[in-house]
Amino acid sequence: MSSAFVFDLDGVLVDSEQAWDAARKDIVAGNGGAWREGAERDMLGMSSKEWPVYLVEELGVRMTPEEVNRAVVDAMLQGYERRLPLLPGAREAVERVAARVPIGLASSSNREVIDVVLDRMGVAELFGATVSSEEVARGKPAPDVYLEAARRLGIDPAAATAVEDSENGIRSAHAAGMRVVAIPNPHFPPAPEALRLAGEVLPGLDRLMP
C-alpha cells in the first residue's frame, strides 16, 4: 500500500483544461497574437512561469509574460466564482483517500488558483502539502513538482502514488519515481506509450481506492 497519494488538479479534480484554453485564446485574440493548432497540447503541464512566455514568444501576444499570467489567472478566478467545475466524485475521492493515507497535490496551476479550488471544494485542510509548479524550477513533464510534494509530505517518492490525467503529468510523476494511477483526460488523451508508464488506468475517480 502506498504511504501517500498525490493528486493533480486540472483534469483530475476539476474539469478546467477548456477554461484555461478559452482564457488564453481571449488574450491571444485581443492582443495581437495568432492561435495555432496544437497550442493546447503544447501547454499541457507547463507552469505559470512557462506558458505566458509561450503566448508571447510563440503566439505573438503583445504583452509581457507577467501581464499575460495576471490576465489569464483573473479570468480563471472569476469563472470559478461563478461555478467550480468539479469532476464527478472529486470531493468524495479526496475524502476517501485522505481517511486512509496522507495526501498532497502537485499542480501546474498558479498558487492562488489551487487555494481557491481546494477552499471552495471544502477539502483544503485534508491536504498535507500542495505545490504549484511555479514554486519549482521546471514544470511537468519534469519531476520537480512531484519531488517537492513528496519532500513537503516527508515521504519517499517511491512510496507514493500519483493521480494524473495528462501525458506530461504521467511522465512527471513517473520520472519522480512514483506509482501512477492514470484517469485519462478525454479532451487530451495521453499517448499509449505514456499510459504504459502508469501502474493502473481507471475510467473515473469513483474507482480510486487507497
Mean pLDDT over 8-27 rounds to 93
Q: Provide the grid cell at 123.
A: 477539502
Going from N- to C-terminal start, the domains of the chain cover 4-15+86-207, 17-82
Q: Please give the mean pLDDT across all residues of the chain.
A: 95
> Residues 131, 136, 140, 144: what is their CA dihedral angle, to the nearest 10 degrees?
-90
- The reported pLDDT for the residue numbered 194 is 96
- Contact in structure between 93 and 208 (CB atoms under 8 Å): yes
pTM (2 decimals)? Answer: 0.92
Q: What percent of the chain has pLDDT over 70?
A: 100
The cell numbers describing 113, all together, are 488558483
Return d(Cα 112, Cα 93) in angstroms, integer.
Answer: 22
For 114, counting Cβ atoms within 10 Å of its Cβ (0-12 exposed, 13-18 middle, 19+ buried), the class is buried
| 77-113 residue pLDDT tens | 999 999 999 999 999 999 999 999 999 999 999 999 9
Please check the confidence at residue 1 and state whether its pLDDT lies above 70: no
Q: Does the annotation count 10 as an active-site position?
A: yes
Kindly tell me the burial class for residue 77, based on how many C-beta atoms sit within 10 Å of its own C-beta (0-12, 13-18, 19 or more). middle
Nearest residue to 145 via CA among 153, 155, 135: 135
CA distance 169 to 190: 9
Please tell me the CATH code under which domain 4-15+86-207 is placed: 3.40.50.1000
Q: Known catalytic residue: 74? A: no
Active-site entry in 10, 15, 144, 165:
10
| Per-residue pLDDT tens digits for 108-160 | 999 999 999 999 999 999 999 999 999 999 999 999 999 999 999 999 999 99
